């Protein structure tokens, strides 16, 4: 499960890194607690050109009459994404990269309390999360593909988001032929860094850099 994101890298730097045209309606960074249904920065590719623009985090299937007609779809499981009606067309034709500087995950404490962790790339670079998107009316919506957790996340949670490495961006975005399914594998050991953060982030209203500060609480 990937349910909260951060973005501390500047939008202009992200557009340059991904060689993408930057939309003028992308929310400014830094953002320390991006929650479901909020706008997330997403890279798509069409006709050989990449675009970096906001999308609603929470995929809305085309048959929904309202965005709340069914469950909030933040994630798409890699093992069923090619079969589920909400995803099977999008995973073939509308893959995207959801950009983040890090994300929060929760583990279970000895007293049953939810203990928050903050996860980033070990090299400090932005994360390119493998996603898929769906237009619903005039709104573009997206979900993040998740996998069985690998060695980095397994001590914390049983799922992790798909992270696409730079050399694989063209393949995931549909610019380099077929075979994107082969990219759906956990990050190798040592590629991610995780540390405990304060419980303030348990509230979706919390904001500010204090949320990502390491704590033993």
**What amino acid positions are annotated as catalytic residues?**
2, 105
216 neighbors 131 (Cβ within 8 angstroms): no
Q: Assign residue 179 a region (left: φ > 0; alpha: ψ between -120 and 50; beta: otherwise).
A: left
Q: How far apart are CA 160 and CA 147, in angstroms?
A: 5
Q: Which of 135, 130, 167, 153 is nearest to 43 (CA)?
A: 130
CB within 8 A of 109, min separation 6: which ones? 115
Q: Which of 187, 193, 177 is nearest to 118 (CA)?
A: 193
Tokens describing residue 6: 């951060």
């Amino acid at each position: 499960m990937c349910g909260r994101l951060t973005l501390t890298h500047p939008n202009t730097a992200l557009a340059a890194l991904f060689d993408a045209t930057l939309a003028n309606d992308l929310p400014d960074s830094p953002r320390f607690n991006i929650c479901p249904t909020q706008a997330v920065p997403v890279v798509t590719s069409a006709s050989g050109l990449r675009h970096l623009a906001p999308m609603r985090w929470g995929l809305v299937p085309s048959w929904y009459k309202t965005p709340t007609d069914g469950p909030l779809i933040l994630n798409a499981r890699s093992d069923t994404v090619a079969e589920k009606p909400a995803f099977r067309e999008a995973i073939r034709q509308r893959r995207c990269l959801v950009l983040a500087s890090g994300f929060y995950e929760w583990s279970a404490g000895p007293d049953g309390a939810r203990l928050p962790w903050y996860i980033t790339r070990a090299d400090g670079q932005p994360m390119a999360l493998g996603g898929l998107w769906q237009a619903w009316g005039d709104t573009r919506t997206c979900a993040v593909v998740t996998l069985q957790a690998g060695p980095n996340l397994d001590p914390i949670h049983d799922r992790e988001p798909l992270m696409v490495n730079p050399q694989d961006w063209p393949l995931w975005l549909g610019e380099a032929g077929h075979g994107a399914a082969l990219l759906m594998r956990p990050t190798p050991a040592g590629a991610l860094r995780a540390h405990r953060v304060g419980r303030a982030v348990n509230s979706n209203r919390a904001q500010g850099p204090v949320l990502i500060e390491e704590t033993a609480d």
